[in-house]
Each structure stands twice: as C-alpha cells, then as structure tokens.
Amino acid sequence: MSLVEEGSWFKSDVSARTKGWFQQFVAVQAFAQATGNIPRHRGRDQRRAGEGELADWLRYQRRRRVRGNATVAEVALLESLPGFGWNPKDASWEATLLRVDDFLDRSGGHPPRVRCSDAAERRLAAWVDGQRRNLREQRLSVDRRDALWRTLGPL
C-alpha cells in the first residue's frame, strides 16, 4: 500500500504545483515499490524506462531542500521512501567502504589487489587506491578519513 494513495490528495483547493509534485512523488514511490530501489542515474544499458526523469526530479528535490524551498510535508514524504537519502554520494561511499570491510573479513585482513582475476576485487582495490590518493591530497573529510582508518588502519 502506498503512503500517498493516488487521487486521495486531489482537492479543488490544492495548487497545480502541489498536484504536480504529488504526481511525481507517486511515480517515484511506484518505481521504488516495483524495483526495490529509488530511481538513480545509471549507464544507458542499465537504465529502466523513465528512471532518468524520476532521478532528475529527485535531484531537483534535493536542491530545493538545500535552498529551503521544500515544505516539511515534502521532506517527510521523500524521507519515507526506502533507500532515499539527501546525499546519495555519501551513501554510495559508505556502501563501498562496507564492501571493503566485508572483503577484509573474508580475506583474513588482506587488502584487495589490483592484479587479480576477480573483477569485484579489482574495483575495490581501485576504490581504496583512490581514497588513499584523496587522503594524500587532503581531499577527504575528517569523517571519511576516520572511517577509512577504522576499516583499513592508518594509511
């Protein structure tokens, strides 16, 4: 059952902008329920029908919130979406760090290698190398630096 039943919020005193916002929200909600993920930008070969437009709408909603233009109700509805985050890049970074941590557990603490036959391990190794480079160039926040140190030890 959806949080906002389509049509239940259509009243004569609701503005066209509000109606349009809710129509888009319902579309995002339906996409999330059907796929198990919120819409996001992907490579062309991985894109689902209409996903790019819905991902653009979510990006716009994030900007509206930063600028203070989103209503409390809009913020609450967006936050009710499973998997939704206000900063998806942070969520992606944290998810990759968790994959590195899992890898370290499975490998007995050995870091992922760039020169190996497993493509997933190579991707993790490249990500770790990139984070080390970001650390050297002082392009990591203190929180990210600390999270890396907790997972990998001092770099």
- As a dihedral over the C-alpha atoms of residue 36, residue 119, residue 45, residue 81, rounded to 10 degrees, the angle is 20
Residues 74 and 92 in one domain: no
Type of residue numbered 27: A
Domain boundary among 55, 79, 103: 79
How many domains does the chain fold into? 2
| Residue that terminates a domain, selected from 35, 51, 79 | 79
- For the segment 64-102, what is each residue's pLDDT rounded down to a tens digit? 999 999 999 999 999 999 888 898 888 788 889 999 999
3-state secondary structure 81-103: CCCCCCCHHHHHHHHHHHHHHHH
Instruction: Please give the Cα distance from 78 to 108 (Å, whole number).
Output: 40
With cut-offs at 50, 70 and 90, classify the pLDDT of residue 12: low
Average pLDDT of the segment spanning 1-15? 54
Give me the chain's average pLDDT, please: 86
> Which residue, among 132, 71, 129, 62, has the nearest Cα to 91 in the 3D structure?
62
Q: Residue 8: inside a domain, yes or no?
A: no
Domain finish residue from 52, 79, 106: 79
Same domain, 93 and 129: yes
Which pLDDT belongs to residue 90? 83
Does any domain span residue 4?
no
Query: 75 is in which domain, residue-wise?
Result: 16-79
Q: Distance between CA 137 and CA 115 in Å, rounded?
A: 24
- Residue type, position 68, single letter: G
For residue 17, what are the CA distances in angstroms to 13, 81, 127? 12, 21, 42
pLDDT of 44: 64
63 and 116 share a domain? no
